[in-house]
Amino acid sequence: MSNDGGDNQQPRLRAAGAIAGIGSGSTKVAVGHGFDTVKTRLQCSPPGTYSGAIDCLLKTLRNESLRGLYKGASPPAAGQALVDSVLLGSLHNYRHILFGLGMTEAAPGAPEERRLTLSAHGISGMFAGLTSAGLSTPLEHIKVRLQLQLQSSASQREFKGPLNCARKIIRAHGFFDLWRGFTASLVFRANYFWMFMPIEGFRRTFAKMRGTPLEVNKTLSDFLSGGLGSLVFWVMAIPADNIKNRMYASPLRLNPRPTFLSVSRSIYSTSGAGGFFTGLAPTLVRSFPVNACAYFVWEGLMKNF
């Protein structure tokens, strides 16, 4: 991107993306956690529990009140800011690396200037996603287990909070079981290729509209590009997200522990190919406003460095 060093030859503070990512991650939690709870319950609850996203939403509100939608919010509230800091900070730096490796093209109207190719934006996103997987996996693991507790009374829940959940996971299978589902997390996060390449593509498309009746200003361009790019990302990433979350949600003392392939086979045998896309509808509804706002915040903060 031209504003974060990806398309610009001028070096910029390498910590800038990480610092701005904290604001992006906090925005995601504030705007979208309730939708994420609905998606997770649709993916991980026994077949027949809910007839769809609206049924899940209404049952959650009826049985657990609005607070039920925000179960598991404390791990991402603290952790999403750190995860996005790693994701966007490393994205910022991978773009610098690929720029230095020559994955560039002439900028339109200014052939003496260079910018990253669209594929370089995608590759930067993929490596940034993989880089953030180590931190995101235990946080998401805890979040999913907390989200799936349907009891309205805290005294009836298996996990009393994120720390209690972490202790019980470690007690059941050891410290590294916090990273249960890590393989699926890597596959899921590699799909950030499909987040950041489309975002840049949309930004360039909006830039070409300048001087036409369809022209949008830079602020709206960033907002729309972030939202539209996230829709592409989730269509590509939702199968891995289903596998990942079901690995997280498997019984604590299950032996042998679930693998990427065993969960994939289970989804296919139970629900067919469509089972890999469970939860896509609420995800897309959530994705546009959450990621449009988060990307807008990130770009805005980047301008201050």
Q: How confident is the model at residue 125 (pLDDT cuts 50, 70, 90)?
A: very high
- The pLDDT, as a whole number, for residue 171 is 94
Give yes or no for residue 57 having a pLDDT over 50: yes
- The pLDDT, as a whole number, for residue 53 is 84
107 contact partners, CB below 8 Å, separation of at least 6: 7, 113, 114, 115
- pLDDT tens-digit profile of 148-187? 888 877 788 899 888 999 999 999 999 999 999 999 999 9
Give yes or no for residue 235 having a pLDDT over 70: yes
Domain enclosing residue 54, as ranges? 16-302
Distance CA 5, CA 67 (A): 41
Tokens representing 120 are 């370089």
Q: What is the mean pLDDT of residues 51-59?
A: 87
More confident residue, 121 or 89: 121
* Residue 114 parent element (H or E): strand 110-116
Query: In this structure, is residue 2 part of a structural domain?
Result: no
Give yes or no for residue 299 having a pLDDT over 60: yes
More confident residue, 153 or 42: 42
- Tell which residue, 86, 195, 71, has the closest CA to residue 145: 71
Give yes or no for residue 17 having a pLDDT over 70: no
Give yes or no for residue 68 having a pLDDT over 90: no
Q: How confident is the model at residue 253 (pLDDT cuts 50, 70, 90)?
A: confident
Query: In this structure, is residue 9 part of a structural domain?
Result: no
| Side-chain half-sphere CA neighbours of 272 within 13 A | 1
Tokens representing 68 are 């039920």
Query: In this structure, is residue 250 part of a structural domain?
Result: yes
Give yes or no for residue 75 having a pLDDT over 60: no
Per cent of the chain over pLDDT 70 is 84
Q: What is the mean pLDDT of residues 73-80?
A: 62
Q: What is the mean pLDDT of residues 242-270?
A: 94
- The pLDDT, as a whole number, for residue 1 is 40
Per cent of the chain over pLDDT 90 is 50
Give yes or no for residue 60 having a pLDDT over 60: yes
Q: What is the rounded average pLDDT for all residues in the chain?
A: 85
CB 258 within 8 A of CB 246: yes
Residue 84 to residues 38, 40, 80, 147, 158, Cα–Cα distance (Å): 22, 20, 6, 21, 29
Give yes or no for residue 33 having a pLDDT over 80: no
Dihedral pair phi/psi, residue 27, rounded to 5°: -65, -40
Give yes or no for residue 11 having a pLDDT over 50: no
Give yes or no for residue 12 having a pLDDT over 60: no
Burial letters 58-68, b for 16+ CB under 10 A, else e: ebbeeebeeeb
Other CB atoms within 10 Å distance of the CB of residue 82: 18
- The pLDDT, as a whole number, for residue 289 is 82
47, with CB counted inside 10 A (0-12, 13-18, 19+), is exposed
Domain count, the chain: 1
- Ramachandran region, residue 258 (left: φ > 0; alpha: ψ -120 to 50; beta: rest): beta
257 contact partners, CB below 8 Å, separation of at least 6: 173, 177, 180, 250
Q: How confident is the model at residue 300 (pLDDT cuts 50, 70, 90)?
A: low
Query: In this structure, is residue 111 part of a structural domain?
Result: yes
Give yes or no for residue 305 having a pLDDT over 50: yes
Query: In this structure, is residue 7 part of a structural domain?
Result: no
Query: In this structure, is residue 88 part of a structural domain?
Result: yes
Residue with tokens 């939202």: 227
- The pLDDT, as a whole number, for residue 4 is 46
More confident residue, 109 or 280: 280
- The pLDDT, as a whole number, for residue 89 is 86
Q: What is the mean pLDDT of residues 93-106?
A: 95
CB 56 within 8 A of CB 42: yes
Give yes or no for residue 47 having a pLDDT over 80: yes
Other CB atoms within 10 Å distance of the CB of residue 300: 15
Give the 3-state secondary structure of residue 91: helix
CB 148 within 8 A of CB 158: no
Query: In this structure, is residue 4 part of a structural domain?
Result: no
Query: In this structure, is residue 10 part of a structural domain?
Result: no
Distance CA 199, CA 221 (A): 10
- Please report, for the domain that includes residue 37, its CATH number: 1.50.40.10
